[in-house]
Amino acid sequence: MQMREAGFAIRTMSPGDACDEYLAWIADPELMGPLNMPARRLTISQLRDHIVQFDNKLRHLLGLFDETAGMLIGIVLLDINSQHRSARVSLFIGNRDYWGDHRLHPLAQAFQAYLFERKGIEKLRCQVAVDNHRMIGTAKLMGLKPEGLLRGEIRSHHDGSRIDQFVFGLLKTDWAERARQ
């Protein structure tokens, strides 16, 4: 999977993409906390092992790259349910310089178009902790609508408490309607 738009690219990660920046993100509690993932110190070798765990057919590990700067700036996880033609997406921008960067919007739009038009996806969704306002803002910006509250959906890695999540979704039909406007 690969696409380019306006100087940015999203593509399947390969073991060769393991880098110090990615290691630093995984070790950063501020970045991992909102994803409910523990900050971990991995080696480059362990990170390469992690990258190859994804089959990139149903479970995709994708990198967001600034092609002009020639660097990885974030990660997208994509889980596809081929039977239901749905996909669940989660992402984080590891490089803080790109938080709220409007230049990424064309790539995000192109990625949605790719999923709906070329991958046969009919429903896109993401689940976000109710206090992850940045990700909620991203979901809204991308046209995903809040569809419900999942009470105590996940367990906090921090203290074992149950965490509520919002489900956001976007149907292909709604996306196409929005694209027409």
Residue 180 in contact with another protein, rule: CB under 8 A: no
The two most distant CA atoms of the chain are separated, in Å, by 48
Size of the site for another protein (CB under 8 A): 19
CA–CA gap between residue 151 and residue 115 (Å, rounded): 29
Strands (E), the chain: 2-5, 8-12, 59-66, 71-81, 86-93, 123-129, 145-155, 162-171
In whole angstroms, the minimum distance from the beta carbon of 51 to another protein comes to 26
Among 49, 67, 117, 164, binds another protein (CB under 8 A): 164
Q: Which is nearer to another protein, 39 or 130 (CB)?
A: 130
Q: Where are the alpha helices (DSSP H) in the chain?
A: 20-26, 29-32, 44-52, 105-113, 133-141, 172-180
Site of tokens 């995984």: 26
Q: What are the tokens at 24?
A: 């630093």
Residue 141 in contact with another protein, rule: CB under 8 A: yes
How many Cβ atoms are within 10 Å of 170's Cβ, its own excluded? Answer: 23
At residue 94, the 3 state secondary structure works out as coil
In whole angstroms, the minimum distance from the beta carbon of 119 to another protein comes to 25
Residue 131 in contact with another protein, rule: CB under 8 A: yes
Residue 146 in contact with another protein, rule: CB under 8 A: yes
Among 24, 44, 149, 179, binds another protein (CB under 8 A): 149
Q: Which is nearer to another protein, 21 or 164 (CB)?
A: 164
Mask of contacts with another protein, 63-102, x by CB under 8 A? ------------------------------------xxxx
Which residues are at the interface with another protein (CB under 8 A)?
99-102, 130-131, 133-138, 140-141, 143, 146, 149, 164, 166
